Amino acid sequence: MAQQEIKIALCGAGNVGGAVLELLTVNADFYKKMFDTDFLVTDVVTKSGKLRGYKDKFNGNIHTDFESIINNDSIDVVIEVMGGIDDAYKVAKQAIESKKDFITANKAMMSLHGDELFKLAEKNNLFIGFEASVAGGIPIIKSLSSKARIENISWFAGILNGTSNYILSKMESDGIELKEGVKQAQELGFAEADPTLDLNGTDAAQKGKVLSYLAFGSKLDSSIELDIEGIDMVESIDFKFALELGYSIKPLSIGSYEKDRLILKSFPALIQQSSILSKVNDEMNAIEVFTKDSGSNLFYGPGAGPKPTASSILSDLFDIAQDNKVNYSKFGQGLMEISNDTFSCQRYLRLEVNDSPGVMAKISSFIAKQNLSIESVIQKEDFSQNGLIPIVIVLNECNENELEDLLNSFSNEKDLFKKIVHLRIFNPNK
Amino acid sequence: MAQQEIKIALCGAGNVGGAVLELLTVNADFYKKMFDTDFLVTDVVTKSGKLRGYKDKFNGNIHTDFESIINNDSIDVVIEVMGGIDDAYKVAKQAIESKKDFITANKAMMSLHGDELFKLAEKNNLFIGFEASVAGGIPIIKSLSSKARIENISWFAGILNGTSNYILSKMESDGIELKEGVKQAQELGFAEADPTLDLNGTDAAQKGKVLSYLAFGSKLDSSIELDIEGIDMVESIDFKFALELGYSIKPLSIGSYEKDRLILKSFPALIQQSSILSKVNDEMNAIEVFTKDSGSNLFYGPGAGPKPTASSILSDLFDIAQDNKVNYSKFGQGLMEISNDTFSCQRYLRLEVNDSPGVMAKISSFIAKQNLSIESVIQKEDFSQNGLIPIVIVLNECNENELEDLLNSFSNEKDLFKKIVHLRIFNPNK
C-alpha cells in the first residue's frame, strides 16, 4: 500500500479529545508502520478556544466554531467528541455534506439521527464510525455488525451504563442504599454532578437503540421512543432477597426480535448468579449477544474513560485508513414496530404489608384473579420495619400488560400495600 | 459497490465444512444483499469423495485430492477445514502460490507455519483468514489484531480449550475426579476418543501461540516450543482447598510482554473467584486482554462447534468480499526469545505428608532455605487418607526457577512427601 496522509479535525477538546490527540501524537511512528498512513490532527474546534486535555506538541489550528473546518477541503475526517445533540448533529451533517468521513462518540445524537446520517453518508460514499458511542472501549459496534451480517441475532442484553452498574454493585457488595452509592460514584468520577440520565435509564436506552439498529435494523430516529425504567426503586434489601433466590441485580438494556416482534427496553433486572453477565461489576460494561446457530457471545470491558473511548475512535480512523468503510445504511429495515407490551418474563415483587392475619391469602387471591401464578414466596419477619413486613413473591412468566393489571388491582388496596417494588427477572435461557 | 461473484473451494467436508456450505446456501440472498456478492462453493475436496455434513442443494464438483482445485484458476478462495498439519500446510502454500486467498480453522498448522504463510501471502498480495483457528465462534483474531494496532498489549489470558474447561468445571461443580470428567466430556461430544492433545495443554498452547503473534509479534514457526502443563494432576480435593482460598481452577494460556521479556505458557491455574475469567464454565472459551491505557477487555463465547466455527470462517470470507484484507505479515517482529523462567506468580502447593510431629517445621525450613515465603497454610485432618494428611501452602510470588529449586529440595525427602501438587495462581491485577 502506498503511503498516505489523513488530515483530521477534532470537534471537542476535553478528556476524550485530548486522549485522541495524545495517542495519535505519541504512537505516530507505530501507526504509520501499521497503516502506511500519517494521521495528522490539523484542526481542533473548542468553544473555549483552549485545549483542556493533551496539549503537548500540537501545532495545528484551534477554532471556536466549526464552520471553518467544514469549509476546509483539505480535511478528510471529522471526529466529534463534543457531546450534546443539536450541535453535534449539525457538525455530522455538514461534515458529510462537505465530503468528509465522520467519527463520533455520541450515542444520544446517533440514536435520534442515525438513519438520516447513514443514508447521507451512503449517498456521498462516505463512512460514519461510531464504535465509541456504545460501551466505550468494547469493540461492540464492529463485533455486533459483523455478527448481524452472518447470522440472525435473537437477542442482546447489555450492561451499558457504568454509573448505574457501579452503584448497584456497591449496594450489593457493601449493603449501602442508592443515595450513598450515588455519592461514592460521584466522588470517584463514575457519576456526573447531575446523574439523572444515567440513573433513569436514558443513557443505557440510547445505547441499546443503537445496538438494536445493528442487530435488527430498527430505526434510529425519533419515531422509537425510549422505554426506560431507572434504578432508583432498588433498595439494599432487594439484594438480600435476590441473593436468597440466587440472583444479582443489574441495569440491563435488552433487545430481541422474533416473529416480527421487536422488544427494546432498559430496566434493572434480577439475573441468575450463575450467568456470566451477573459477574460484570463496578463501572464495567458488557454485552451478551445470542444467535440460534452460535449461542452466546459476551463482550466485556471499560464502558467509559478517555483512553478506552479514544482507542475505539482510533479503530474507526484505522478503518478509514484501510478503506474498510462499512455502509451502515444497509442495516436499516425501517419497518419494525416496538411490541414491548408482549415482553414476557418472571417477576420479582416486593410488597411491604401490614402485619395482619390473612394478608397472604388476600395477595394470593389477587394474583389468582389475574390468572397469574406464583413460583415462590419469601416472608421475613426479621426484615420488618415500622410494623410493615416485606413479602417477596416470584411470579411465573407474564407479559407487561398482565403485570400492569395486577399492579393496578393492588393499588386499590392502599391500606394493605404500603409499597410495591417490581423488578423483572431476566432469564436468557428461557 | 458493483455486484461480484466469489468462487470458493472447500477442503474438508465434515461437520465444520458442512456448516459453511449450509450457511452459504441457506443465507445466500441475505449475504448477497449485505455484501453485493454471490458466494459460490464450486468445489469440495474430501478424501472419501462424499459430503458428510450438509448435502442439500450442492451442485458443485467433489474431488478426492486438492491438485485439481489448485490448478483451477477460476477459484478465488480456498477454505481449509480438513485438519492435520502437513497436508493442510501443502494446501495453504499451494493455494497462495496459485493466487487464491486462503481461510483456515487450523491452529496447529498456523502455529508452525504462520510466519512463512503470512510472508508468502504478502508477496502475492493475498489474504489469510484464520478467525476460526482460535476460540471457535469468538471474534478474537479480529478483536486482538485491531487492539494490537492501537495500543501495546501487556498480557492476555485465555481459556482456549473447551474440553479441559468442561472437565475442570464438572470436577468443581460435581466433586468428581478427572477420569469421570473425561468420560462425561466424551459422552457429550466435548472430548475426542483420544483427548491427549486437549488434556496435556497442546491444543491450548497452539492457540496461545497464534494469539501471541498478534499481540506481541512473536514467531509462528518451529523455533518457539510449546510450554505446556496438562490438567491431569488436578484432583477434586484441589477444588475444595481452592474454594476455601477464594479461587477456581481453570486451564489458562497466558502471554505477556514487558521489558523485552516474552512469557508464553499453558497450565491449569487458580484464579480468584471475583474475576470474570473464573466464571467461564463448561465448554465455553474466553480471552482477557489487558492494555495499560484501556484496562481489561474480555471476549467470551463458544470455543468450538460446527456453526460457531463456520460463522468465524464466514467473517473472513466477508472480509475478502469487502476487500478488507489485513496484512498479517506486519505483526511479526521475529526477534523475541521466550523468558518463561522469569514468570513469577504466587504458588499453590498441596503436599501429602505422613502425620508425624514436626512436619510443618520441616516444610517451613525447606521453604525458608530457598528464601521463599509463605502467605498461608491450610491443614485439614478430615481430608486425610491412608494416614496421609494434605497440607496446602500458598507461597508468595516466586519465579519458575525458584519454584523448581524448592520442589527439588522436597524430592530429596521422599519419606516425608508422598505427593506434591503444584499449581500456579494467576492474579492479573498484580
CA nearest to B291 within chain A:
A308
User: What band does B410 get if pLDDT is binned at 50, 70 and 90?
Assistant: confident
C-alpha–C-alpha distance, residues A227 and A346, integer Å: 19
Does the beta carbon of A53 lie under 8 angstroms from any beta carbon of chain B? no
What pLDDT was estimated at residue A430? 53
Neighbours of A275 (CB within 10 A): 21
C-alpha–C-alpha distance, residues A214 and A205, integer Å: 14
> pLDDT digits over B181-228, tens only?
999 999 999 999 999 999 999 999 999 999 999 999 999 999 999 999
User: What band does B167 get if pLDDT is binned at 50, 70 and 90?
Assistant: very high
What pLDDT was estimated at residue B1? 53
Please state which CATH number belongs to domain A4-105.
3.40.50.720
Does the beta carbon of B298 lie under 8 angstroms from any beta carbon of chain A? yes
Based on C-alpha coordinates, what's the Rg of chain A?
A: 24
Residue A78 contacts residue A100 (beta carbons within 8 Å): yes
- Contact call for B298 and A296, based on CB within 8 A: no
- Contact call for A295 and B280, based on CB within 8 A: no
What pLDDT was estimated at residue B326? 94
Residue B275 contacts residue B418 (beta carbons within 8 Å): no
Q: Is the pLDDT of residue B392 over 70?
A: yes
Mutate which: B15, B31, B127, B149, vs A, most A CBs within 10 A: B149
The CATH architecture annotation of domain B150-302+334-339 reads 2-Layer Sandwich (3.30)
Closest CA to B344 of B397, B291, B403: B397
* Three-state SS sequence of chain A: CCCEEEEEEEECCCHHHHHHHHHHHHCHHHHHHHHCEEEEEEEEECCCCCCCCCCCCCCCEEECCCHHHHCCCCCCEEEECCCCCHHHHHHHHHHHHCCCEEEECCHHHHHHHHHHHHHHHHHCCCCEECHHHCCCCCCHHHHHHHHHCCCCEEEEEEECCHHHHHHHHHHHHHCCCHHHHHHHHHHCCCCCCCCHHHHCCHHHHHHHHHHHHHHHCCCCCCCCCCCECCCCCCCHHHHHHHHHHCEEEEEEEEEEEECCEEEEEEEEEEEECCCHHHHCCCCEEEEEEEECCCEEEEEEEECCCHHHHHHHHHHHHHHHHCCCCCCHHHHCCCCCCECHHHCEEEEEEEEEEECCCCHHHHHHHHHHHCCCCEEEEEECHHHCECCEEEEEEEEEEEEHHHHHHHHHHHHCCCCCEEEEEEEEEECCCC
Which residues make beta-bridge pairs with A129?
Answer: A103
Does the beta carbon of B324 lie under 8 angstroms from any beta carbon of chain A? yes
Using CB atoms, which residue from B150, B293, B326 is nearest to A315? B150
Continuous segment of H or E residues that includes residue B119: helix B107-123
Cell numbers 496446602 correspond to what residue? B392
Mutate which: B34, B159, B172, B294, vs A, most A CBs within 10 A: B294
Identify each DSSP E strand in B160-193 by its residue range.
Answer: none
- Contact call for B308 and A323, based on CB within 8 A: no
Using CB atoms, which residue from B280, B293, B302 is nearest to A276? B280
What pLDDT was estimated at residue B429? 67
Q: Is the pLDDT of residue B142 over 90?
A: yes
- Residue B139 vs residues A142, B158, B304: alpha-carbon distances, Å: 10, 13, 12
How many whole angstroms from its chain centre is CA A58?
33
How confident is the model over B231-247, as a mean pLDDT? 96
Distance from CA of B346 to the nearest CA of A (A): 24
**Mean pLDDT, rounded, of chain B:** 94
- Percent of chain B residues topping a pLDDT of 70: 99
Instruction: Provide the angle, in degrees to the nearest 10, between the axes of the packed helices A178-187 and A162-174.
Output: 120
Which residues make beta-bridge pairs with A191?
Answer: none
Distance from CA of A364 to the nearest CA of B (A): 37
Using CB atoms, which residue from B147, B296, B318 is nearest to A149? B318
Cell of B117: 504463510
- Contact call for A139 and B143, based on CB within 8 A: yes
C-alpha–C-alpha distance, residues A131 and A126, integer Å: 16
Using CB atoms, which residue from A293, A300, A302 is nearest to B311? A293
Ramachandran area for residue B285 (φ above 0: left; ψ -120 to 50: alpha; else beta): beta
Cell numbers 478426492 correspond to what residue? B64
Residues of B annotated catalytic, as ranges:
207
Interface of A with B in 125-154 (CB under 8 A): 137-139, 142-143, 146-147, 149-151
- Residue A205 vs residues A106, A333, A349, B57: alpha-carbon distances, Å: 13, 20, 23, 43
Cell of A295: 449461542
Instruction: Provide the angle, in degrees to the nearest 10, between the axes of the packed helices B306-321 and B28-35.
Output: 30
Distance from CA of A16 to the nearest CA of B (A): 13
> Where along chain B do its domains lie?
4-105, 150-302+334-339, 343-426
Neighboring chain A residues of B272 at a CB cutoff of 8 Å: none
Does the beta carbon of A300 lie under 8 angstroms from any beta carbon of chain B? yes
Q: Is the pLDDT of residue B379 over 80?
A: yes
CA nearest to B297 within chain A:
A301
Using CB atoms, which residue from A35, A150, A300 is nearest to B300? A300
A-B interface: how many C-beta pairs under 8 angstroms?
Answer: 125
Residue A296 contacts residue B301 (beta carbons within 8 Å): yes
Residue B276 contacts residue B284 (beta carbons within 8 Å): no
C-alpha–C-alpha distance, residues A338 and B189, integer Å: 40
CA nearest to A308 within chain B:
B294
ipTM of the assembly?
Answer: 0.95
Neighboring chain B residues of A137 at a CB cutoff of 8 Å: 294-295, 297
Q: Is the pLDDT of residue B122 over 80?
A: yes
Residue B40 contacts residue B67 (beta carbons within 8 Å): no
- Contact call for A305 and B294, based on CB within 8 A: yes
What pLDDT was estimated at residue A259? 83
Neighboring chain A residues of B322 at a CB cutoff of 8 Å: 324, 326
What is residue B51's three-state secondary structure? coil
CA nearest to A288 within chain B:
B300
Neighboring chain A residues of B147 at a CB cutoff of 8 Å: 139, 311
CA nearest to B280 within chain A:
A276
- Contact call for B294 and A315, based on CB within 8 A: no
Topology of domain A343-426, per CATH?
Alpha-Beta Plaits (3.30.70)
Mutate which: B15, B144, B248, B300, vs A, most A CBs within 10 A: B300
- Contact call for B299 and A299, based on CB within 8 A: yes
Residues of A annotated catalytic, as ranges:
207
Using CB atoms, which residue from B295, B308, B324 is nearest to A294? B308
What pLDDT was estimated at residue B430? 53
Q: A151-301 belongs to which homologous superfamily?
A: Dihydrodipicolinate Reductase; domain 2 (3.30.360.10)
Residue A71 contacts residue A39 (beta carbons within 8 Å): no
Residue B289 contacts residue B208 (beta carbons within 8 Å): no
Closest CA to B140 of B217, B228, B224, B207: B207
Kindly give the confidence (pLDDT) of every residue in chain A, 430 residues in length, as a single tens digit, with 9 standing for 90 and above: 568 999 999 999 999 999 999 999 999 999 999 999 999 999 999 988 888 878 778 889 999 999 989 999 999 999 999 999 999 999 999 999 999 999 999 999 999 999 999 999 999 999 999 999 999 999 999 999 999 999 999 999 999 999 999 999 999 999 999 999 999 999 999 999 999 999 999 999 999 999 999 999 999 999 999 999 999 999 999 999 999 999 999 999 999 998 889 999 999 999 999 999 999 999 999 999 999 999 999 999 999 999 999 999 999 999 999 999 999 999 998 777 899 999 999 999 999 988 777 888 889 999 999 999 999 999 887 777 777 889 999 999 999 999 999 999 988 887 778 889 999 999 876 5
What is residue B247's three-state secondary structure? strand
- Contact call for A311 and B330, based on CB within 8 A: no
CA nearest to B30 within chain A:
A149
Distance from CA of B405 to the nearest CA of A (A): 38
Residue B331 contacts residue B209 (beta carbons within 8 Å): no
Does the beta carbon of B32 lie under 8 angstroms from any beta carbon of chain A? no
- Contact call for B150 and A311, based on CB within 8 A: yes
Neighboring chain B residues of A300 at a CB cutoff of 8 Å: 276, 296-300
Mutate which: B311, B319, B429, vs A, most A CBs within 10 A: B311
Distance from CA of A30 to the nearest CA of B (A): 8
C-alpha–C-alpha distance, residues A304 and B294, integer Å: 9
Distance from CA of B126 to the nearest CA of A (A): 13
Neighboring chain B residues of A308 at a CB cutoff of 8 Å: 293-295
- Contact call for A314 and B150, based on CB within 8 A: yes
Does the beta carbon of B194 lie under 8 angstroms from any beta carbon of chain A? no
Does the beta carbon of A343 lie under 8 angstroms from any beta carbon of chain B? no
Q: Is the pLDDT of residue B174 over 90?
A: yes
Based on C-alpha coordinates, what's the Rg of chain B?
A: 24
- Contact call for B149 and A318, based on CB within 8 A: yes
Q: Is the pLDDT of residue B56 over 90?
A: no
Phi, psi of B354 (to 5 degrees): -70, 140
How many whole angstroms from its chain centre is CA A215?
14
What pLDDT was estimated at residue A339? 94
Does the beta carbon of B322 lie under 8 angstroms from any beta carbon of chain A? yes
- Contact call for A301 and B302, based on CB within 8 A: no
How confident is the model over B403-417, as a mean pLDDT? 86
Cell of B138: 469468538
Query: Would you give the DSSP letter of residue B385?
Result: B
